[in-house]
Amino acid sequence: MFLSVFDMFKVGVGPSSSHTMGPMVAAARFLDKMRASPFQFHGLRASLHGSLAFTGVGHATDRATILGLAGFEPASYDAEKAEAALALIERTHQIAVPGLPPLAFDPKKDLTFDYGPALPGHANGMILKATDAQGDIIMEETYYSIGGGFVLTAGELSDAGGAKAKARADVPYPFETAAEMLEMAAKSGLTVAQMKLANELKFRTKAEIDKGLARLWEVMNNCISRGMATDGILPGGLKVRRRAKGIHDALMAERGLNMTAPHTINDWMSLYAMAVNEENAAGGQVVTAPTNGAAGVLPATIRYWLDHVPGASAAKVGDFLLTAAAVGGLCKHNASISGAECGCQAEVGSAAAMSAAGLCAVLGGTAMQVENAAEIALEHHLGMTCDPVKGLVQVPCIERNGLGAIKAVSAASLALRGDGVHLVSLDACIETMRQTGHDMHEKYKETSLGGLAVNVPNC
């Protein structure tokens, strides 16, 4: 099994990889399908289903779908141009994109939220339609946003046997489980990062990989910096105040004081994570790690390591990301990274496992210790629900990323205190996450129909 580090980590836009990035990607794919068709199109329609409907407004799914149909894509998103495009579509009821004729589209009539039963393939479903001059549907496709910005058509989902990661096996180390990963590491004498790199080299040059990894960390680190420098109220109606800047200013003022408590280091970890997720909530540029809702955990862990751990070197960030991607691929392939499918255990839990593995690796951990670190971090997120208040990626999501980073660092430290031998395997933990997600009631899986979402006033 091979899932590229550049599939696991994608530059995109907030607030949600599955509810914002996914629909935008799906719409772009639909445009390509239309361009390849011999039909003469005159209009567009879209319907959102399941979790995309229930929390779509809070996650800007409607905006993302319209922008995707207007030719915007997450990796190259320009906020100023997007606002201008939305205003033009609202005024003219028309979408114009290269390679297609002007297409009729009234956002109030042609985009609908279907609050009935979810589509059969996945909780995050959407149907895109193209019409002729008479308004009859002449092309239709069902898409599923399966987490982390990954999108499958209904046919692709069926061919894959479900929402498992589409993955290749024609690589030197095609491990599908953590047990296989450890076996290959033992036989080859390579680290997890080295095996992952060998797999990546089948499809890219070393220079391309290094450049891509550097770009990912640049975007992550810039996101932390922006979040720590920006204050104000987050959009969406909850009136949540940004806290990262205030925390950063206070921590900087306390630096060098003899009375600073040792546990203050936890505030730094939370700060870095919250800075990212406040940027995400505001619709800023982030990197899926593995999702937008969990985007702060891994950058916070890296920044903690670089800023606070003696001997840390930015030259090893690539090894961190490669190791983390290997663990994230196992979570996605054998369970899920989608909150709408398995709850927040699949998002922040997977992010913490990835981060713990990466940190353990750059601190000199063996492959067995890396696997142990990932297992510890994931095990203590099992059962975590996804219940965002008002459907916004704000409460409890922002703070939850901070606690996920703290757990990741603790898990890596515990693993490094041992020899890698432990009772519960990472594979068992991932399978437990899958089973728990399957058994979890739908109201606790990103629909905002249960949990904090109904017990906290949201206005």
How far is the C-alpha of 37 from the C-alpha of 41, rounded, in Å? Answer: 9
- Do the beta carbons of residue 442 and residue 116 sit within 8 Å? no
> In which band, very low, low, confident or very high, does the pLDDT at 167 lie, cut at 50, 70 and 90?
low
Reduced to 3 states, what is the DSSP secondary structure of residue 269?
A: helix
- Number of alpha carbons in the 13 Å side-chain half-sphere of residue 296: 37
How far is the C-alpha of 63 from the C-alpha of 71, rounded, in Å? Answer: 12
Helix axes 397-416, 297-308, angle to 10 degrees: 50
Q: Summarize the confidence of residues 274-298 as an average pLDDT.
A: 97
Give the closest residue to 41 by CA, choosing from 128, 133, 106: 133
Structure confidence by residue, pLDDT tens digits, 220-263: 999 999 999 999 999 999 999 999 999 999 999 998 888 889 99
Strands (E), 211-318: 285-287
Helix axes 178-188, 426-439, angle to 10 degrees: 160
How far is the C-alpha of 403 from the C-alpha of 424, rounded, in Å? Answer: 22
Structure confidence by residue, pLDDT tens digits, 200-210: 999 999 999 99
Structure confidence by residue, pLDDT tens digits, 110-154: 999 999 999 999 999 999 999 999 999 999 999 999 999 999 999
List all residues 6 or more positions away from 390 whose beta carbon is below 8 Å from its beta carbon. 58, 236, 237, 238, 448, 453, 458, 459
- Do the beta carbons of residue 86 and residue 108 sit within 8 Å? no
How far is the C-alpha of 285 from the C-alpha of 229, rounded, in Å? Answer: 15
How far is the C-alpha of 271 from the C-alpha of 279, rounded, in Å? Answer: 12
Phi, psi of 337 (to 5 degrees): -115, 20
- Do the beta carbons of residue 158 and residue 177 sit within 8 Å? no
- Number of alpha carbons in the 13 Å side-chain half-sphere of residue 102: 7
Radius of gyration over every alpha carbon of the chain, rounded to an integer in angstroms: 22
> In which band, very low, low, confident or very high, does the pLDDT at 164 lie, cut at 50, 70 and 90?
low
Structure confidence by residue, pLDDT tens digits, 301-324: 999 999 999 999 999 999 999 999
Structure confidence by residue, pLDDT tens digits, 335-373: 999 999 999 999 999 999 999 999 999 999 999 999 999
- Do the beta carbons of residue 351 and residue 404 sit within 8 Å? yes
Q: Summarize the confidence of residues 215-223 as an average pLDDT.
A: 98
What Å distances lie between residue 137 and 100, 236, 352, CA to CA?
A: 16, 34, 45
Q: What are the sequence ranges of the domains in the chain?
A: 18-159, 178-455
Centroid of chain to Cα 1: 20
15/162: higher pLDDT: 15
In this structure, what DSSP letter does residue 345 have?
Answer: G
Identify the pLDDT of residue 257: 84
* Position 161 pLDDT exceeds 90: no
CATH for 18-159 (3.30.1330.90, 3.90.230.10, 3.40.640.10, 3.40.630.10): 3.30.1330.90
How far is the C-alpha of 82 from the C-alpha of 318, rounded, in Å? Answer: 32
Residue 429 neighbours by CB distance under 10 Å: 24
Identify the pLDDT of residue 259: 82
Place of tokens 């680290």: 191
Q: Summarize the confidence of residues 99-115 as an average pLDDT.
A: 97
Which fold does the domain 178-455 belong to in CATH? 2-methylcitrate dehydratase PrpD (1.10.4100)
Identify the pLDDT of residue 168: 62
Identify the pLDDT of residue 34: 98
* Position 165 pLDDT exceeds 70: no
Structure confidence by residue, pLDDT tens digits, 70-89: 999 999 999 899 999 999 99
Structure confidence by residue, pLDDT tens digits, 404-423: 999 999 999 999 999 999 99
